[in-house]
Chains A and B, each alone.
Chain A
């Protein structure tokens, strides 16, 4: 009966129900979009690190992100790393911003990623045209199809200039987006060094694989001791460093999280308002319930059920709209991301929001004097 009464109370005033649902829907969509952007950004920022075939990553000292490594590591570091017990392999990787000159004139920037396919260190993924073999060609480069027009090229076979030399598009990927808005361009290790004018032993990162059975923390500490001009990080550590750099030093993440908090506050206020006025409208019925001997808890349950039912309806509607926005954003340069985890937390947030909203209504019914039932 608690749910029956709660549902009937809700349906009794359709306009108010609509306002409630729009309030919840608005906050769900806002929070979903903000957190979806946050997740989407996080994935973009960490994708290359996550895809790297490494247990530990050696970076130049203080490298803030994947794009911030410089080209400072050389053979000395590589050999020192290789000589460390527990290390099985050390694969160099070059990553640097580079100027991209379009064939029709004009320029933009790319993040040049140089890695040898045979090293299995870091390869472009999501290839839709061309193969990993194609990228081994001396002038080959792979870019993401989303950025073709931005790079002033049409597709496979087009040439452009990257930093100091010509490159030819030999492969296209799908889904490799860049948070910095400078597209990633994948080429071979040596070609990257050439284009960037770097010595042929230089690299940005060293991807370290451990020998079977080696203890990762021990090797990490050992490496850190030997390589005093470098940082030795696990993938997780490097990912969170990159996230910190792009999402928090730049304020982008805070804006997204701030938007999400604002969204939930607005929703809470709207729901609190409508629930309170609904409770006020039905106060005589609550007083009757009380006179009939219901416990306070019973009445709270009715109000919480009203809040909960609103939450469920608002959540479903909100998620439908959020998923539509998500779908529409899939080809944009910043696609939203929705995960089961996020969907769950959004639901938890909605319930929490509605429970908080119920407080003012609950305070109201706590003050009910059942004696008012005779006063009519």
Chain B
């Protein structure tokens, strides 16, 4: 299946710190993301995954290299223009959920629509819809402190997809979750990629997540060192593999 990439990164380099503390966290990464796929970015701690994800999300500016998100080449855009690109094309999921503690589930989703200018009834009904989609129809008015970690992360997923972005970026979405919740969130991300035809990129070093991937990019020391793709036509061969693992973990 050939589809036009919704994101294209070319030779991204990122230097962090300065002087003696200078670290080249990303050392010339090129990659493309296409719709309908869940891609995992895996690598050891400190390999530059988060740094790369921040750059791909238009949150951090690369030291050099070029990045296109949807139709926009974002090199050299101002902070405000980058925010606009994030609003229009991207959804984010964070390791520690980053929900607003003073807002309930539905409000946490609504605020992501609000910054995009979607207000009123349209915003409420869309927020309810996506919360139901992630299986939280019965938790609409719960505050984050009254939700389990898994539920909180699902609210975050709902928030990320509420505005129907073409790309969803997640940094270690399962790291703070137990096995069962981790699987639930990964299944959700995979469904979002397939059913809603979005491009999902998740940073992880959690092997439990492997089974959900359409594609795995491996990164070490700021460089891509390998890429695997699930052969076409075969439906999630690792799922069985994974079920075994789950049993092992249990």
Interaction A to B = yes
* A residues at B contact (CB < 8 Å): 1-2, 4-5, 8-9, 11-12, 284-285, 288-296, 298, 370-371, 373-374, 376
* Contact between chains at A374 and B102 (CB < 8 Å): no
Complex Cα distance A2/B103, Å? 12
Number of A-B residue pairs at CB separation under 8 A: 80
Contacting A293 at CB < 8 Å: which of B53, B115, B119?
A: B115
* Contact between chains at B83 and A293 (CB < 8 Å): yes
Whether A285 contacts B60 in the complex (CB less than 8 A), given A1-B119, A4-B107, A374-B54, comes out as no
* Residues of the B chain whose Cβ atoms lie less than 8 Å from the Cβ of A371: 54, 59-60
Minimum Cβ distance to chain A for residue B101 (Å): 8
Complex Cα distance A1/B171, Å? 26
Complex Cα distance A4/B102, Å? 9
* Residues of the A chain whose Cβ atoms lie less than 8 Å from the Cβ of B119: 1
A-B contact pairs, 21 of them (CB 8 A): A1-B110, A1-B111, A2-B114, A5-B100, A5-B111, A285-B98, A285-B100, A288-B94, A288-B98, A288-B100, A289-B111, A291-B59, A292-B112, A293-B83, A293-B88, A293-B115, A294-B87, A298-B115, A373-B59, A374-B171, A376-B94
The reply to whether the CB of B80 lies closer than 8 angstroms to some CB of chain A is yes
Complex Cα distance A371/B111, Å? 19
* Contact between chains at B98 and A5 (CB < 8 Å): no
* Residues of the B chain whose Cβ atoms lie less than 8 Å from the Cβ of A1: 107, 110-111, 114, 119
* Contact between chains at A289 and B102 (CB < 8 Å): no
Since A9-B102, A288-B94 are in contact, a sample of 16 more A-B pairs with Cβ atoms closer than 8 Å, ordered by chain A residue number, is: A1-B107, A1-B114, A1-B119, A5-B103, A284-B98, A291-B57, A291-B98, A292-B86, A292-B111, A292-B115, A293-B84, A293-B87, A293-B116, A295-B84, A374-B50, A374-B94
Whether A376 contacts B96 in the complex (CB less than 8 A), given A4-B107, A296-B80, comes out as yes
* Residues of the B chain whose Cβ atoms lie less than 8 Å from the Cβ of A295: 80, 83-84, 115
Number of interface residues of B (CB under 8 A): 34
Complex Cα distance A2/B98, Å? 18
- The proximity string for B residues 132-152 relative to A, scoring 1 for CB distances below 8 Å and 0 otherwise, is 000000000000000000000
* Contact between chains at A290 and B83 (CB < 8 Å): yes
- The proximity string for B residues 97-138 relative to A, scoring 1 for CB distances below 8 Å and 0 otherwise, is 010111100010011101110010000000000000000000
Contacting A8 at CB < 8 Å: which of B98, B103, B112?
A: B103
